[in-house]
Amino acid sequence: MAHDETIESSGFPLGFKMRQGGDRSPLIAGANGRDVFLAEARQIGGHQKECVVHEGATGSAFRTVSDEGAQLKGTDLAPFPLGFYNAGLSADLANRVIAIARARAITLNDLTIDLHHRYSMTGSFFQGTGVGSAEPARIKVRVASPATAAQIDALVEDAGAASPALATMRVALENTFALYVNGRRRQVTRLPASSAPDAADPYVTYRAVPAPLDGAAAPRDLIYKSGQTTEGEFIYQAAETKGRVVIDVSGTCRLRDPAGLIETVVRLGFPRTSHFAIRSDERGAQDAAPSGLSLTTSGIVFCYITQLLRYIEHQKLKIRGVRVVQASPYTLSGAPKDGWRGGAEAVDTHLFLNGEESEDAYETLMTVAARTCYLHAALGATLPPVIEVEHGEQAAA
C-alpha cells in the first residue's frame, strides 16, 4: 500500500462498507455470546489514519478514516479518534435501550443520548513521563415514552449494564501488546506481552487500497461534517506542555429510525475544530452502517496510532509504515427482559513498524504511546459511567 495517500486523494466517502458478511454478530443483533471485533489500521499521511473493522466472525467489514484538527497539525477532514469512541458508546447504549424496551413492551417515542468525556495528560509526553487518564463518562439519556418513570429508570439502568461498549470503561482490563519490526516479531518487555500467534500484517493483507463494496454508489452520509465548529480562538496544542492538559469530548446521539439507525454528532473541546456526524446501524440483521461496537473498536486503535505518530514526529525517529492489528473481544449474556449483561475483555494490540532505529527505540515508542493513549487509560481503569435519565411523556399516575 502506498504511504503518500491522503483522505481526499482516494475520493472515497469517509466511511463505507468494504465487505458484506453473512450473519451479523449476535452481540449487535441482541443474542448472547462472545465475538471478537478485529481492527486493521494504518497511517495514510500526516495524522490521517484508516481503519477496517471486521464485525465479529461472520459480520461485514467497514472502513473509516480519522484525522486531527489544526491544533495537532491535522487537516480536520475526518473525525478525531475520541469522537469515534464517543459515538460508539452512545450507539451501543441506544441499541440496548431499544432491545430491552422491545422485550418489555415499552413504547419509545423518542430517544436522545448526550455523552460527555473528559481526558487529561500529565507529565512530559516526549521525555517519556507522560501519562494519559480518563474520567467516567457522564451520560444523559432522554426518553419520550408513555411508560412510567420507574419503568424508564429501570430500562436505562439495565441498558447501561447490558452494553459491551460501556463495559470497556466499567471494568479495568490488562491489555496486551505484540511488536513487529521490519517484518520480524520482537520480544515485548515493558508492557504485558501478547500470547496470541503472529497477526497478519495489513500491508501484506491489503494489496490494494480498501474500496467501497458498491463502488460509486456508496452512500456518503455514514460520516460527514455537520457544518458546525467549536467556538473560540484557535489554540495550538504544543508538543511540550506544563501542568495538566484537559480534553473535553461531547456527543449527541439521536434516532434516525426508531428500529435502531442512529446518528451521533461529536464535538472536540478545542476551538475551531469541526463537528462530525457519525452513523451507526443497530437494527439487528441490517448493516447499512457500522455498529456502535465497531466505532468503539476503531476509536481505540485510532487514538493509539495518534500517540505513535506524535512521538515519531517530534522525536524525528526514522520509523515509517505504522500499522496496527487490534483484537477486541466483547460478550453478552442473560436476557433483555431481565438481567442482560455486556462485557469486554482485554484488547490485544499488534504493532507493525519499519525503520532504521535502535532495537530499544521501537519498544520505547510502543510503550510511550500506550501510556499516553487516552483510551488505553480508559480501558485500564475502573470508570463506571454516570448515567442520568430525563423523562418525556409518561403514563398518567
> Above 60 in pLDDT, residue 343?
yes
- Provide the angle, in degrees to the nearest 10, between the axes of the packed helices 292-315 and 359-372: 130
Please answer whether residues 13 and 53 qualify as being in contact, where contact means their C-beta atoms are separated by less than 8 angstroms. Answer: no
CB-CB neighbours of 237 under 10 Å: 16
**For the purposes of burial, counting CB atoms within 10 Å of the CB of 217, is it exposed (0-12), middle (13-18) or buried (19 or more)?**
exposed
Record the pTM: 0.95
The grid coordinates listed for 96 are 440496548
Report in angstroms the alpha-carbon separations of 10 from 14, 38, 206, 375.
10, 23, 15, 29
The pLDDT assigned to 270 comes to: 83
| Tens digit of each residue's pLDDT (9 = 90 or more) over 154-206 | 999 999 999 999 999 999 999 999 999 999 999 999 999 999 999 999 988 88
The pLDDT assigned to 186 comes to: 97
Please answer whether residues 63 and 15 qualify as being in contact, where contact means their C-beta atoms are separated by less than 8 angstroms. Answer: yes
Query: Cell numbers 477532514 label which residue?
Result: 77
Query: Cell numbers 494504518 label which residue?
Result: 42
The amino acid present at 212, given as its one-letter code, is P
Which domains, ranges and CATH numbers included, belong to the chain?
A: 7-391 (3.30.300.20)
Widest Cα–Cα separation across the chain: 72
CB-CB neighbours of 290 under 10 Å: 33
The pLDDT assigned to 217 comes to: 83
> Above 90 in pLDDT, residue 331?
yes
Q: In whole angstroms, what is the distance from residue 254 CA to residue 234 CA? A: 29
Bridge partners (DSSP) listed for residue 54:
38, 61
The pLDDT assigned to 236 comes to: 54
Q: In whole angstroms, what is the distance from residue 149 CA to residue 288 CA? A: 33
| Tens digit of each residue's pLDDT (9 = 90 or more) over 91-138 | 999 999 999 999 999 999 999 999 999 999 988 766 778 899 999 999
- Give the phi and the psi of residue 8 in degrees, each rounded to 5: -75, -25
> Above 50 in pLDDT, residue 1?
no
Q: Where in 232-384 does DSSP place strands (E)?
A: 245-257, 261-268, 274-281, 319-335, 338-344, 348-355
The pLDDT assigned to 396 comes to: 43
* CA angle (246 as vertex; 326, 235 as ends), nearest 5: 105
Lowest mean per-residue pLDDT among 191-195, 315-319, 392-396: 392-396
